[in-house]
Amino acid sequence: MKQKNVIITGITSGIGTEIALDLAKHGHMINLVARSEESGNIIKDLIFKKTKNNDIHVYKCDLSLQKDIREFVDNFKKQNNSLDILINNAAMVPKERIITSEGIETQFAVNYIAPYLLSRLLLDMLKKSSPSRIVNTSSVAHTSGNLNVDDFQRLNEKYSMRGMRAYCNSKLALTIDTVELAKELEGTGVTCNAVHPGGVNTNIMRYNIPKFLQPLMKKTKFMGTLRLSPKEGANPIIEAACSDKYDKVSGKYFDRFTQKDASKKVFDKDVVAKLSEYTKSIVA
């Protein structure tokens, strides 16, 4: 494969770091999106040390803020003429409900709004570089999501938000958008797919699993989670981004390497239409 220009979010640990390492090892140009230059440069140095690839670039961007996302895209476009692969990998499960300075619940902002906005702001470059790909790191958790069309962020709930429920909802929204964006991109040469990496042993759930259970879950297949290493979790995302097998595939959901039917909730026309309208009002 010729050198590709790649953007990866969520790179400072776990799956994102492994994706960046693998693609750098194969000689691709890697653009790391990190919340701070310091954290991004740590990964940049690690990548160079392990791969000797010096074509690694760090962009500071708080993905919970649309202002930062727009500034990042502007900076990227000033410094690049092409974009072949966008990997929307960043996700979070906070300990408590946090509202950003832009008035959006943080998990909804990072896990859903950020990939939605990034994909659209970068579409002109992706189309120019086609064939090109968008890969969204989804989750089997989307099947447990339930979107309230009157309160997508559940901001009106009087009790504190439970992290895992909000995570499931955000991944459902992301999977819906993967399917809908793929429809919009038909004929452009840009594909868009969602990939569940499997039950990966990362720190994303550290606030939602009791401390006394964490050692057990790391050693066993308890609840089917945390059985895979970050490198194993990265592999299906790397394949979706690079393999020839995905050349003509778009708008699909993969459970690791296997294409599967997404939840029926992904195709609920009423929810899809209202989510689209709501999201456009947020990012307008």
| Residues assigned a catalytic role | 167
Tokens 């029926």 belong to 264
Buried b (16+ CB within 10 A) or exposed e, 209-237: beeeeeeebeeeeeeebbbbbbbbbbbbb
Distance of alpha carbon 79 from alpha carbon 93, whole angstroms: 32
Q: What is the 3-state secondary structure (H, E, C) of 189-225?
A: CEEEEEEECCCECCCCCCCCCCCCCHHHHHHCCHHHC
**Which stretches within 101-259 are classed as H helix?**
106-108, 114-121, 123-128, 163-184, 214-219, 230-242
Cβ contacts of 118 within 8 Å, gap of 6 or more: 7, 9, 69, 73, 86, 88
- Token pair listed for 183: 């429809």
Distance of alpha carbon 231 from alpha carbon 20, whole angstroms: 11
Instruction: Classify residue 198 as exposed, middle or buried by CB count within 10 Å of its CB (0-12, 13-18, 19+).
Output: buried
Distance of alpha carbon 96 from alpha carbon 284, whole angstroms: 27
Chain center to CA of 35: 15
Distance of alpha carbon 130 from alpha carbon 186, whole angstroms: 12
Cβ 199 vs Cβ 138: under 8 Å: no
What letter would DSSP give residue 228?
A: B
